[in-house]
Each structure stands twice: as structure tokens, then as C-alpha cells.
Amino acid sequence: MRATYREVDRGTRVVEGVEVRVTELVWSDGGTSFEVHRVDTGEDLTEAECFDQLPTDDQIAALLVPRAPVDWFACPGCGAVFTDDDGDLYVDHVRDCDLVDGAGNPLPAQQ
């Protein structure tokens, strides 16, 4: 993991009615990335993945769309559906499913 040696405040802007702050991270190897945080809550909108270039308003707007939590899983091979009530049974199912390889990828159709 690289260590940040400098953060550059790129200011705030209002996107979709939400004030956000953009911060440029300058890495010790010379690389850069950009984080976006909500000003009102401090939530890091780029926690999963930062931007490589200064984000546009459209890119930031896409981060503001609420995402519903996933409470189900469908096997990529056979389509069997598991809900949160099933615990982690899907792990064993995907491992043992004849239509999925050991990594959880669907097998190509047999001809």
C-alpha cells in the first residue's frame, strides 16, 4: 500500500443539491487519485474506488444515487436464489454446483 504524502483540497461544489468536497491525493511515487466526500455527513463516496482524474459533476452524481443493500444471491450457473435468511449456504452451493467452476464463474455451454 502506498503512503499519501500530500492532500490537495480541490474545493467544494454542489452536485444534485448535495455539497461535496473533492480532495486530490498525491502519492509518494508521483501518482494521484481523487476522493469525493459529502460535506454534510463526511461520507466518503469514493470508498470503494477513487478517481484517476478530477471527477466531473456527472461522475459525482452517479455516486450520489442510493444503492439498495443486496439481500439475495443468484447462482451464476444454475440460477438458484438464496436470501439473507439462508446464511452462507450459497458458498457451499456455488462450490458444489456442476454449472459453476470452483471460482464461482459459470461454465461455458456444452455443445
pLDDT in tens, 58-111: 999 999 987 666 688 888 888 888 888 887 888 888 888 888 776 666 677 654
**Helix (H) and strand (E) counts in the chain:** 2, 5
* Burial class of residue 94 (count of CB atoms within 10 Å of its CB; 0-12, 13-18, 19+): buried
Which residue, among 44, 10, 43, has the nearest Cα to 24 in the 3D structure?
A: 10
Give the pairing type, strands 32-38 and 18-27: antiparallel
Looking at per-residue pLDDT, the higher value among 1 and 36 belongs to 36
pLDDT in tens, 35-46: 999 999 999 999
pLDDT at 1: 52
Give the pTM: 0.58
